[in-house]
A and B are shown apart, each in its own frame.
Chain A
């Protein structure tokens, strides 16, 4: 893959990789590291992307990197607060806080469903888990979000509309 192709992929999907990592890890610096490592791996030419599957591969790679981060002894035992939340509205902060109160593996499922618009099978492929596990995590996450948020109209709206647009 040449430099221009790499740059195009980064321009096209860089923010999406970052968003998944940010929602997974809840810390900007860690998410930036994951994003960088994903594209570095691509640049090193150690993997071949299937045409049309570039984004799914990048998100899988990002999810794996996030899992590795969470597995590390150091990170697992240190609670992190993100000091640089980018949200302007109080309601956005409320949603962020509620999502961040979920276990990381639930956040990833929520993000891939509500932001990326993947269905449960696709989420399973990206996270390398079964469709049943996706369903379980989704159900638990929703139940927890419902408790946390004063209402869940936003999430319900996407459900009614067949969730997010691609």
Chain B
């Protein structure tokens, strides 16, 4: 018997949690919530090394080695996705040399200066030389502000993404969204103390265009 509703009827808030929330509501939200305080801090740290994001998927084991270094693996039969940033790759597949933007894909260098801008991505379909799995490297921007992202698509169309200067995590400060990377240490500390602030992710226009062209679904 495979009955989703039968199963879900057993899922309920604990009495203890109900009581806690009722207390909070009676005090009109003046009570502090329990929340991990690491969220913003870890995101900030992630920015320092180039963000790696992944979306869970329950698929047969798959491994993909990012061109910039690091590995994503999907554990068989679970929704567990592991991403390792090991610093063994290129670090960045895009470089600025003599006013030109160069893309380095596993040793092959391509001048992409005239192929990209703020809205136009350069999309490269890549095969991981170690595992044979397919991914996409997307580059975009201008010589003054360029970035890249790399996608690994699982068999069911879900993806893990890694990149640098391809998106911005925005944090609401005094009613205005501010890039996480522009926050002062004091502001980061304050956010960590609060623990409840949620970041939103805004992709660069060239990345948005690539996501659309590739037909990716990113929440």
On whether the beta carbons of B58 and A164 are closer than 8 Å, the reply is no
Is B3 part of the contact surface with A, judged by Cβ < 8 Å? yes
On whether the beta carbons of A158 and B4 are closer than 8 Å, the reply is yes
Is A59 part of the contact surface with B, judged by Cβ < 8 Å? no
Binary flags per residue of B27-57, CB closer than 8 Å to A gives 1, else 0: 0110001111011001100100001111111
Nearest neighbor of B161 in chain A, beta-carbon distance: A76
Binary flags per residue of A135-166, CB closer than 8 Å to B gives 1, else 0: 01000100010001101111101100000100
- Take A39-B24, A68-B198, A158-B4 as given contacts and tell me if A33 and B34 are in contact as well, using a CB distance cutoff of 8 Å: yes
On whether the beta carbons of A70 and B1 are closer than 8 Å, the reply is no
For the complex, count residues of B whose C-beta is within 8 A of A. 58
Binary flags per residue of A36-53, CB closer than 8 Å to B gives 1, else 0: 110110011000000000
Taking CB atoms, residues of chain B closer than 8 Å to A99 are 4
Tell me the number of A-to-B contacts counted with CB atoms below 8 Å: 178
On whether the beta carbons of B42 and A36 are closer than 8 Å, the reply is no
On whether the beta carbons of B26 and A115 are closer than 8 Å, the reply is no
Taking CB atoms, residues of chain A closer than 8 Å to B200 are 68
Q: Which of B5, B20, B55, B82 contacts A103 (CB 8 A)?
A: B55
Q: Which of A23, A39, A155 contacts B8 (CB 8 A)?
A: A23
Binary flags per residue of B187-198, CB closer than 8 Å to A gives 1, else 0: 000000000101
On whether the beta carbons of A7 and B26 are closer than 8 Å, the reply is yes
Taking CB atoms, residues of chain B closer than 8 Å to A68 are 198-200
Nearest neighbor of A164 in chain B, beta-carbon distance: B5
On whether the beta carbons of A70 and B43 are closer than 8 Å, the reply is no
On whether the beta carbons of A43 and B56 are closer than 8 Å, the reply is no
For the complex, count residues of A whose C-beta is within 8 A of B. 66
Nearest neighbor of A165 in chain B, beta-carbon distance: B5
Taking CB atoms, residues of chain B closer than 8 Å to A104 are 55-56, 79
On whether the beta carbons of A74 and B39 are closer than 8 Å, the reply is yes
On whether the beta carbons of A14 and B79 are closer than 8 Å, the reply is no
Taking CB atoms, residues of chain B closer than 8 Å to A39 are 21, 24-25
The 3 residue pairs across chains A and B that have the minimum distance between CB atoms = A101-B58, A79-B80, A154-B2
29 contacts between A and B (CB under 8 A): A3-B25, A33-B33, A37-B33, A39-B21, A39-B25, A40-B33, A43-B28, A71-B199, A71-B201, A71-B219, A72-B42, A72-B43, A72-B199, A73-B46, A73-B53, A74-B42, A76-B53, A77-B52, A79-B78, A79-B79, A89-B6, A91-B1, A91-B2, A98-B2, A103-B56, A104-B79, A110-B4, A153-B2, A154-B1
Residues of B within 8 A of A (CB): 1-8, 10-14, 17-18, 20-22, 24-26, 28-29, 33-36, 38-39, 42-43, 46, 51-58, 75, 77-83, 156-158, 196, 198-201, 217, 219
Residues of A within 8 A of B (CB): 3, 6-7, 10, 14-15, 18-19, 22-23, 26, 32-33, 35-37, 39-40, 43-44, 65, 67-68, 70-74, 76-77, 79, 86-89, 91-92, 94-96, 98-105, 110-111, 114-115, 133, 136, 140, 144, 148-149, 151-155, 157-158, 164
- Kindly list 14 other residue pairs between chains A and B, CB separation below 8 angstroms, not including A74-B39, A79-B75, A101-B79: A3-B25, A10-B21, A15-B13, A32-B13, A33-B33, A39-B25, A70-B56, A73-B46, A76-B83, A77-B54, A79-B56, A92-B3, A154-B1, A164-B5
